[in-house]
Amino acid sequence: MKSIFKLLLATSTLALTLTVSAQTSRKINMGVSIPAATAGWAGGVVYWAKETAKELQKKYPDMQIMVKTAASPAEQANQIQDMQTVNRINTLVILPFESAALTQPVSQLKAKGVFITVVDRGLTDPKAQDAYVAGDNSGFGRVAAEYMAKRLDGKGNVVVLRGIPTVIDNQRVDAYTEVMKAHPGIKILDVKHGNWNRDDAFKVMQDFMTRFKQIDAVWAADDDMAVGVQRAIEQAKRSDIKLVVGGGGSKQYIKKALDGDAMAPATVTYAPTMIADAMRLTADGLSSTGKVPAQSIIPSILVTRENAAKYYVPDSPY
């Protein structure tokens, strides 16, 4: 009886070893799906995705990695379907163009056994992903609000430009408005989507300035939108607006902070290198243990003149 038990135990152990070995040594065919470089931050994402793909293919010669960019949610949904049916990917790292529109297409790939790492813009159904890598979006909104409240000395009129309708945009705006509730002297006049786009932000800011005769500060919630906002302010020759705070940590706005720009003295980090972090975490985890951390959050840091030199990289694409 003992010998039979030993044999069963040995057989079970061997089976477990083979299962773990199969999981950790499976050949990875990774698809990387990201929005096209329609804005500065997205351009940084595209750059780092392509650079990291080359880096990982040198590290793992048997690994296949393809990077695809999409100009719309519909195009991205079609691309990831093709990646699975035509290119036979078994791993997907995706920065969704929009959360709601991509949730079902990603869920369908997961149901077919594709390992899913979602970056930045969370899906509306977290069960559609195996891993999530993002910046601290609540921190992004909170840090900006705390800084603006301090600069305004707790009073003034503020307008807000938010990004594309996504889970992370909701997290940022919710955190921002929650901080401002503690400062009743600060009035948020209006909140509109600028879609993380310079031209859209320019138009939104024009509308704000037409409707509101006294604006003390603007939370642009993105450095690209801040560019459009400042251009609109300059063209309108408005002298009442004293402060514009963006976000994303572009080299342009980090340089403004470094130079002590009066209107744009600060930004908040949200590095496009997170796509590189997600690709590395996924490749390294699946290649070694077969596991990837379920969630990896990168802190959002306030950048001002005092620490801007630490974050300024002049050769960066963003």
Angle, nearest 10°, between helix axes 73-85 and 99-111? 10
Distances in Å between the alpha carbon of 8 and those of 13, 243, 262?
9, 72, 75
Which of these ranges, 13-22, 195-204, 244-253, has the smallest mean pLDDT?
13-22
Confidence of residue 12 (pLDDT cuts 50, 70, 90): very low
Q: What pLDDT is recorded for position 189?
A: 98
Q: What pLDDT is recorded for position 51?
A: 93
Looking at the predicted structure, is the pLDDT value of residue 8 above 50?
no
Q: What pLDDT is recorded for position 6?
A: 39
Q: What pLDDT is recorded for position 265?
A: 97
Spatial separation of the C-alpha atoms in residues 302 and 147, rounded to whole Å: 8
Looking at the predicted structure, is the pLDDT value of residue 15 above 50?
no
Looking at the predicted structure, is the pLDDT value of residue 238 above 70?
yes
Residue type, 10: A
Gyration radius from the chain CA atoms: 23
Looking at the predicted structure, is the pLDDT value of residue 311 above 70?
yes
Q: What percent of the chain is helix, strand and coil (3-state, nearest 5)?
A: 50, 20, 30
pTM of the model as a whole: 0.70
Residue type, 316: S
Looking at the predicted structure, is the pLDDT value of residue 23 above 50?
no
Domain spanning 27-135+272-298: CATH superfamily: Response regulator (3.40.50.2300)
- DSSP state letters, 204-243: HHHHHHHH-S---EEE-SSHHHHHHHHHHHHHHT-SS--E
> In the numeric block, which tokens belong to residue 174?
């919710």
Which tens digit of pLDDT belongs to each residue from 32-79? 999 998 777 888 899 999 999 999 999 999 999 999 999 999 999 999
Looking at the predicted structure, is the pLDDT value of residue 80 above 60?
yes
Looking at the predicted structure, is the pLDDT value of residue 112 above 80?
yes
- DSSP state letters, 102-114: HHHHHHHHHHTT-
Looking at the predicted structure, is the pLDDT value of residue 14 above 50?
no
The third-level CATH classification (topology) of the domain covering 137-271+307-311 is: Rossmann fold (3.40.50)
Which tens digit of pLDDT belongs to each residue from 47-60? 999 999 999 999 99
Residue type, 307: N
The fraction of the chain above a pLDDT of 70, given in percent, is 92
Spatial separation of the C-alpha atoms in residues 237 and 278, rounded to whole Å: 43
Looking at the predicted structure, is the pLDDT value of residue 249 above 60?
yes
Residue ranges, CATH 3.40.50.2300, the chain:
27-135+272-298, 137-271+307-311
Contact (Cβ atoms closer than 8 angstroms) between residue 294 and residue 131:
yes
- Average pLDDT, rounded, for the chain: 90
Confidence of residue 181 (pLDDT cuts 50, 70, 90): very high
Q: What pLDDT is recorded for position 16?
A: 32
Rounded to an integer, the average pLDDT of 24-36 is 85
Confidence of residue 194 (pLDDT cuts 50, 70, 90): very high
Structure-model confidence comparison of residues 7 and 277, the more confident one: 277
